[in-house]
Amino acid sequence: APGQPLLELAPELVGREAELIDLAAGRLDRLEIPMFSRVGAAGQPRYCRMLLKPRAGGAGIFLFIEDITAIGEIQQRLMQSRNELRLLADALDRKNRDLVAANLELRKLADVRTTFVSMAAHELRTPLAVMRGYADMLLDETLGDLNSAQRESLLTLRRGSDRLLEVVNNLLDLTRLEAGRMELVMQPQDMGALVRAAAREFRPLFETACQRFQVAVAPDLPAVLADETRVFQILSNLLSNASKYTPAGGLIVLRAGPAPSPAELLVSVRDTGVGIPADELDRLGSLFFRARTANQVDARGVGLGLYITNSLVQLHGGRLWFESHEGLGSTFYVTFLLADAP
Ligand code: ADP
């Protein structure tokens, strides 16, 4: 509006009078206020940009006001989003720090548990082995003749200490596996000989349990790369489970032969036992898991053996799997890598 004072028209220029004088005198080329807000006609906020330029010959000032509300609103929103993002990033940072601290605490607790289990198991093992040794000595009658009641009592004592020793040894293996301290001595092994040795060791157990036992070792098996003691442990575990979960009169078959892959050798243990329910097959082999069917036979256990067996097989570079039908029986398969893979 002509004649209206500039500062009344554009109060945003208050405080910049010196620049306005320079502008009017042609000493300043332009003056810009990139963004300011005004209240619009309907009371809503408007964002504007102001540009002032000198008129040629010192004849006043041009004043341009541009409505940039759309851009202004976007910029406002952008700034708000940026602030929100910064808040979220801070919160995430705090959560991350909490997680790292919680993880450290968990690891410490796990270490304490592993150390405790390992120490307790070591402490239990020596007196248990001594007890078992004395039971053996008495049963051999080196300390005098036994009557049948004494023999029965000693046999019960020996079975009990055997079971305890097995649990204690499994706990020790578990702590070794968890700490990544299970060390294998890998050497070329004659799997046929190892399978036959395990069969010899287990035949009396099957006879006592009134189970039939067959062994089938394919001729001329190539050597595998394995830790002899641990292979024996793997075979023992599968054979002992086959016996435990098969009622009297059942059949157990131990086989060693070629595997589907030419770089491996396959060992299997089949039984005609209680089997595993179909809905529990995928949980078998997890720590401390026992199938429902385990209660159908008088087989005590804690669900450690299969987990350790599977871990040992994997440490050897092999695989463990099984097929089972409830009430019909199970077959456990294990592969070992050949010492000289073709
Ligand atoms: P445990 O025998 O001490 O319970 P394992 O880890 O050796 O522990 O086995 C875990 C579970 O797997 C057993 O409790 C049993 O339910 C099932 N299982 C293992 N082997 C057999 C088998 N040959 N037949 C039927 N069930 C089996």
For the segment 80-131, what is each residue's pLDDT rounded down to a tens digit?
999 999 999 999 999 999 999 999 999 999 889 888 988 999 899 999 999 9
pLDDT, residue 3, reads 73
**Phi, psi (degrees; rounded to nearest 5) at 52:** -120, 135
Task: State which of 254, 276, 286 you would mutate to test the pocket of ligand 1, scoring each by most atoms of that ligand within 8 A of its C-beta.
Answer: 276
What's residue 2's pLDDT?
65
Q: How confident is the model over 121-148, as a mean pLDDT?
A: 93
Give the closest residue (by CA) to ligand 1 atom 25.
275
Atom of ligand 1 nearest to the CA of 303: 8
CB-based contact 40:46 (threshold 8 Å) = yes
pLDDT of residue 1: 57
Distance of alpha carbon 253 from alpha carbon 267, whole angstroms: 11
pLDDT over threshold 80, residue 307? yes
CA of 144 to the centre of ligand 1 (A): 39
Beta-carbon neighbour count of residue 55 at 10 Å? Answer: 12
Q: What confidence tier does 152 reach under pLDDT thresholds 50, 70, 90?
A: very high
72 lines ligand 1 (CB under 6 A): no
Q: What is the pLDDT of residue 341?
A: 76
Atom of ligand 1 nearest to the CA of 271: 23
Atom of ligand 1 nearest to the CA of 273: 24
Pocket-testing residue among 246, 298, 306, ligand 1, by greatest number of atoms within 8 A of Cβ: 306
Helix (H, G, I), strand (E, B) or coil at 130: helix
Query: In this prediction, what percent of the chain has a pLDDT beyond 70?
Result: 99
Tally the C-alpha atoms within 13 A of residue 122's C-alpha that lie toward its C-beta. Answer: 8
Instruction: Compute the distance from residue 243 Cα to the ligand 1 centre, in Å.
Output: 10
